[in-house]
Amino acid sequence: MLNTETTAAFRPLPSGTATHAAWTAQPAEPRDAAPAPRTASRIAETLRTLQDVVPITRRVVHVGDTIYHSGEQFRSLHVINSGFFKTINLAADGREQVVGLHFKGDWLGFDGIAGGQYGCDAVAMDTGEVWIIRYDALIAACAKHPPLLGMLHTAMSLEMTRDRNSLLSLCTLSADARVADFLRYWAESLAQRGLRTDQITLRMTRAEIGNYLGMTLETVSRALSKLSRDKLIAFNQKGRREVQIPDVRALCAYIQRSLAPAGSAVLQ
């Protein structure tokens, strides 16, 4: 039933959020605290269930490998067992737009269900492993194993919540706060997987971060420099992608302060 092998990170946000301020204010887990046990156990339970009740094909991927292409016929969903992934849309003028970041426990390919073809490219940002699950086999398994259907609905709900919160970030945060929020999000994602958050390795270039956050490379660089001057982050001497975060809660406080003038803003 299985074919091949490899482990990594993400932070789903509260589904009942009414304002961006409500979720950016949430402090990260301290390093010595239990790392988001409910999220970790949910992911572990889903992966165990999938192995038990659905035929799975395992695929090991490396940096730059494409999981599926936009326009490709939809047949399967993909579950991340390890690694970091991005989804990319291609604009009409040929420009690529990073539209999503995905980590262990995330599902890829939901956008292909309605129209019968994938709507974006899914690309690996690191060595990792995805589980390929034929959609027809998954639906058949859900009919025989109702808890699996609940897990599928949870995954869909989390993706919708992430998309909404990304839009709220884009609409309500300044450029500096948007970069701080990106770092907070990445660090808290690692915390939920029991990984260290005081130093993170960004799997994206500054240009890719800017593309994802809707700003230029220069604006991202200025924001990172400002956060560094404010001692909210520091850079490892070995490389500019190694970012030290002394206290993730300080990033949360910085983001919250940036929202103060419009703390009650709600996306209509």
- For the chain, domains (ranges, CATH) are 20-262 (2.60.120.10)
Q: How many helices (H) and strands (E) does the chain have?
A: 9, 11
Amino acid, res. 206: R
Sequence-ordered list of residues with C-beta below 8 angstroms from that of 140, at least 6 positions apart, any chain: none
Residue 176: closest CA among 117, 254, 249, 62:
254
Integer CA distances (angstroms), 117 to 68, 77, 110, 158, 249, in order: 10, 11, 10, 21, 41
Nearest 5°: phi and psi at 10?
-175, 160
For residue range 205-237, list pLDDT tens digits in order: 999 999 999 999 999 999 999 999 999 999 876
pTM above 0.75, yes or no: yes
What is the reported pLDDT for 37? Answer: 66
Residues facing residue 97 across a β-bridge:
89
Whole-angstrom distance, CA of residue 171 vs CA of residue 129: 34
The more confidently predicted of residues 172 and 232 is 232
Give the position of tokens 């897990």. Answer: 151
For residue range 2-52, list pLDDT tens digits in order: 444 333 333 333 333 333 333 333 333 333 344 456 888 889 999 999 999
